[in-house]
Structure 1
Amino acid sequence: MDIIKVAAYCRVSTNSKDQTNSFENQHDYFLDRSNKMTNEELVEIYADKGISGTSLKKRDEFKRMIYDAGINEYKGNKKFTYEIDPSRKPKFNKIYVRNTSRFARDAAIIEILRELLKNNVLVHFLDIDLIYDSIEKEFTLNLFLNFSQQESVDKSKKVRDGNEVSANKGIIRVGGKGIFGYDYHPITKTLTVNEEEAIVVKKVFELYLNGYGIRRILNYLQENGYRPKHGGERFAINMIKRILTNEKYFGCNVRNKYDSGTVFNKKSYAHVKPEDEWKVFEDVVPAIITKETFEQARKLKQGKLHHELQRGIYKGISEYAGLIICGKCGKPYTRNIDRGRIFYNCSIKKSKGTNECDNINVNLSLIEEALDIILKKGVKESFEKYKSIMIDILKYRIRDELTKRIDQDTTKEVDILKQKYDNFIQQKNRVADLYISGDFDKAYLDNKANELNIEISALESRIKELSKNNDEILDEISQFDRVIQEIHDINIEEVKNREHLVNLLKIIVERHPKNEKRPILKIMYKFDEPIKRIAEKYNILEGINYMTTHF
């Protein structure tokens, strides 16, 4: 009797006690079921705990299961795509899911199911007794997935409606960790001042109004022994920002201030709504500071006073947390001290070792030297030159090329490219056959497959561009004109000190190609999104979107 290797997937959406029981019940169910099945071997149970079913982004166990099923996930510009990896055989041939909504409440899951089916991995939804073993089952499965999706939408709407009712009543809400400076009483839904923490709140506003930046405030709090509400060595940057923008500190309860989107259209972060939509209830919270102090801090943050107060002042800032990014793995660099020498290294390298990331460390002195050089050159002048270069590239390289394609017959060129495309696809299939046969070096075949994928992707993009008709080309030219105007409208004031400068930049650390012991700092603007968006689309990022590249 052939033994079928199977896996199981279970998920619960929160970390509450009831859901923990549900999680354990699902886990035990699959173990019991496996013991009763004589023709099956349970390879593994994949379990996501405390994760929503409306998105696949954070479901690590689900992704690990897909990987073990021989499917690779690729991140595109707007969505993830999935493709069979011919170099890996699936560890199992069937996945059991006890409840359809436990698998996903996102109808886009069909794409994954199709790839699993192509790789001879079936999914059995036990609650509806449906085995996805044919694309003909998609209609029925889609009905159930859509029912689950609509259920989530309805629940989300009820929560939003409930929030609106409580907002209109002025009910005070706090997050899971409470509000620093206050003690929350859930039964009466009221706040009372925590006198010890209130001292810190007052100090934060005092320092900010005296010209301290966020990082200098953080350093002051740490050096003077102040600690966050729930432990930890130091306050976070966002914590200080929240203190400076929370109206409760002057006695005001503001509801309906933020919009985080709907369940299937979540924003990456909560957006502040227009002030005329806020529900404002004054004098309902015990005040820690005056309204005048809060308004002064808000005006300072908005930049109405900031430039005048900070002009020409350098406060010895040496903390660049969150601003230095690893050019190899994309994670932030963290601050370290070794025998008095201050340096930064990759947080992944620090926590997991050089096997995970071996990017080079960088001394604080080199970072500050680079920033001083930028200040000396003049940030405003440098940025205006950068803008001018980008606009010229867009106008005279890309836009002109598009214009030339109007009324141009590209049929022959497209046919030639399609022949090349078909040839590369045939080569890729041959590589897959060789891989499966096991007669050739797999590392060599992996490299060859990657090279072919790059060529195929480039050809697909080129064929798509050349196949556009006049209307599509004219529409793209119109988009270009709008982006060029966006870039033209970006303006910055001159910067006179490091503290102000670091708020405009991020620093990418890479190894020097000819000297392994020497770092290269790539200093990038944070606020030129129109430039990055268009440059990335047309592959003109490298060597252009840096203020300067070598330090």
Structure 2
Amino acid sequence: MNETAPRVIKIPAKPESVRQAELQRQLRVAAYCRVSTKEEDQANSYEAQKEYYTDKIMSNPVWTMAGIFADKGITGTSVKKREDFMRMIRHCRQRKIDVVLTKSVSRFARNTVDCLYYTRALKELGIAVIFEKENINSLEEDSELRITLSGAFAQSESESISANVTWGKRRAMESGKATIQYKYLYGYRRGTDDKPEIIPEEAEAVRWIYERYLAGASTRMLRDELHEQGVIYAEKSPQWTLPHIKSILRNEKYCGDVLMQKTFQQDVINRKVIKNTGQLPMYLIENHHEGIVSREKYNAVQAEMARRKAAKSPSKRATTGLSAYTSRYALSDRLVCGECGTLYRRCTWTRPDGKRVVWRCVSRLDYGKKYCHSSPTLDEAPLQQAIIAALNTVLPDLDGRIRQITEALEAEVIPFPGSGMSLGDIDRRLAELEAQFQRLLEKAADDPIAYGDQFKEILEEQTALKELRATILAESREHAEADRRIRDAAGMLENAVPHITEWDESAIRQLVAQVKVLSKNEISVTLKSGIEIRQSISN
């Protein structure tokens, strides 16, 4: 057994030998610099940073230039869009860099997670990141805590700046100042008054899109027809796409309004843009500029889009009795079963003697007689002839029908307020009552109970007037809607041909609201004007 006591021998460090080894190979030093905006003064700062680091690295005898990596006009909250930053990281992983110089933590990254991730990754490779302003070397033991604190302050500063910018934008929205992206607004350009100015040739295409859509064309059909006509969307991207068409149909700017804050940024770090579905207030400026289409036509398109969406099944696997909107067949979203209310579907049967086109209840097709017991199968040709016959009973007497519809709708839907007071009268009386209330309040300071009845009378009259005001406003809105319905119904019949000789999908869409199958031999045709016609089917 060895009884010699163990001993520890300390081998001293040899910093001189390390320095000697470093002198044998110059350190490859790179610099990273970034400015956040594209302003002229920032551009000068950008060039100054490049010049400063070039001079600093080349003036040091133990350093050699490994590159100046610089991103100009790019955000510091995310590294994904900083091409030179990512190129510098690739060079580090390829062992082409020994040291990275940067002005400060905020120049390197304003996102604390990114800052720590990349300094740790470079530390594992033995590469130091030197932050000059904070005097931090990432290879030192206490560097991570100091970098974390500095990164947190930089991120907090970005969040504060973002909050201030957002606040300013929202105050501008509240005051009615609109910011419009003309690059993506077909049909308009920036005018001399900084408001949208109509481009005549593009405006014609917009009006045509609205007309064709209301006539029953699908967005796919509109796209194809625009291509056939040789209409280009823009010089850099001449081809029309479905999103282009949908954007034109949905954008309120085409009727002269501007709706602001339709989207918003989730936060300053991930910068994800989210559709505003009620999380934040929106700001609508009506009559902001000259519209290309009327507000009535714009609203009609929105209603038609909603109708087509409502007629679409939410899932291809789910059987709902609904179908996807198809512009090919007008009856696809108009022909309904009189027994169960489900839509009919067009089917083609192949028989030895040829093909037979029929319409069948979707419920019967998918579930048999479980929910719909006796809905008939209708041959397409006799069904179409019956609908044409129904329309032809109405169209010849256009003038009489228009008067009849107008009078019926006026009697049915236009409200007649019973009060003789106007809104101005109500507002003036409310102001008088408020003044009376304040004067009475001063008198009743010492003994409010003595004036209780007078207070009660004023409050009751105020309540009654406010209710009357709300009623009149509601009736006014209904009146405007009724007027629109009457104009639409009359205009539809005025533009209709006096007699239909053959089946026309476009004409059916414009005239017919619904066709209900009552039996194998009878249908009920309801026009958009509100007229309902019962018609027999000749088989």
Map of 1:163 onto structure 2: 169
Distance in 1, Cα, partners of 2:101 & 2:220: 50
- Which amino acid in 2 is paired with 1:313? R
Distance 1:314 1:59, change over 3 A: farther
C-alpha displacement of 1:47: 2.5
Map of 1:333 onto structure 2: none
Map of 1:207 onto structure 2: 212
Map of 1:174 onto structure 2: 180
Distance in 2, Cα, partners of 1:6 & 1:314: 71
Distance in 2, Cα, partners of 1:106 & 1:233: 39
Map of 2:125 onto structure 1: 119
Q: For residues 380-529 of structure 1, what are the structure 2 equivalents within 5 Å?
A: none
RMSD: 3.2
Contact in 1 for aligned 2:130/2:136 (Cα 8 Å): yes
Q: Of the candidates 100, 106, 109, which is equivalent to residue 105 of structure 2?
A: 100
TM-score by length of 1: 0.49
Deviations 1:347-399 (A, max 9, x none): xxxxxxxxxxxxxxxxxxxxxxxxxxxxxxxxx9xxxxxxxxxxxxxxxxxxx
Q: Of the candidates 143, 154, 173, which is equivalent to residue 148 of structure 1?
A: 154
Map of 2:20 onto structure 1: none
Map of 1:313 onto structure 2: 328
Deviations 1:501-545 (A, max 9, x none): xxxxxxxxxxxxxxxxxxxxxxxxxxxxxxxxxxxxxxxxxxxxx
C-alpha displacement of 1:245: 1.9
Distance in 1, Cα, partners of 2:58 & 2:101: 14
Distance in 2, Cα, partners of 1:192 & 1:262: 34
Unaligned runs of at least 5 residues, structure 1: 71-88, 316-379, 381-551
Distance in 2, Cα, partners of 1:304 & 1:8: 56
C-alpha displacement of 1:133: 1.2
Distance in 1, Cα, partners of 2:62 & 2:329: 73
Contact in 2 for aligned 1:172/1:253 (Cα 8 Å): yes
Map of 2:59 onto structure 1: 36
Report how many aligned residue pairs link the two structures.
299
Distance 1:275 1:33, change over 3 A: closer
Distance in 2, Cα, partners of 1:140 & 1:276: 37
- Which amino acid in 2 is paired with 1:38? P
Map of 2:135 onto structure 1: 129
Map of 2:16 onto structure 1: none
Greater Rg over alpha carbons, structure: 2
Map of 1:337 onto structure 2: none
Distance in 1, Cα, partners of 2:231 & 2:327: 29
Contact in 2 for aligned 1:222/1:233 (Cα 8 Å): no
Q: For residues 46-445 of structure 1, what are the structure 2 equivalents within 5 Å?
A: 46-70=69-93, 89-108=94-113, 109-175=115-181, 177=183, 179-185=185-191, 188-229=193-234, 231-267=236-272, 269-274=273-278, 277-302=281-306, 303-304=308-309, 307=312, 310-311=325-326, 313=328
Distance in 1, Cα, partners of 2:76 & 2:122: 19
Contact in 2 for aligned 1:12/1:19 (Cα 8 Å): yes
Deviations 1:169-214 (A, max 9, x none): 121211262632222247x442222222212222232333344444
3-state DSSP of counterpart to 2:301: helix
Q: 2:42 matched to 1:27?
A: no
TM-score by length of 2: 0.50
Distance 1:244 1:123, change over 3 A: same
C-alpha displacement of 1:55: 1.3
3-state DSSP of counterpart to 1:244: helix
- Which amino acid in 2 is paired with 1:183? R
Overall identity of the aligned pairs, in %? 29
Distance in 1, Cα, partners of 2:42 & 2:243: 30
C-alpha displacement of 1:271: 0.9
Bigger Cα displacement from structure 2, 52-61 vs 270-279: 270-279
C-alpha displacement of 1:116: 0.9
Distance 1:5 1:177, change over 3 A: same
Unaligned runs of at least 5 residues, structure 2: 1-22, 313-322, 331-362, 364-539
Contact in 2 for aligned 1:51/1:58 (Cα 8 Å): yes
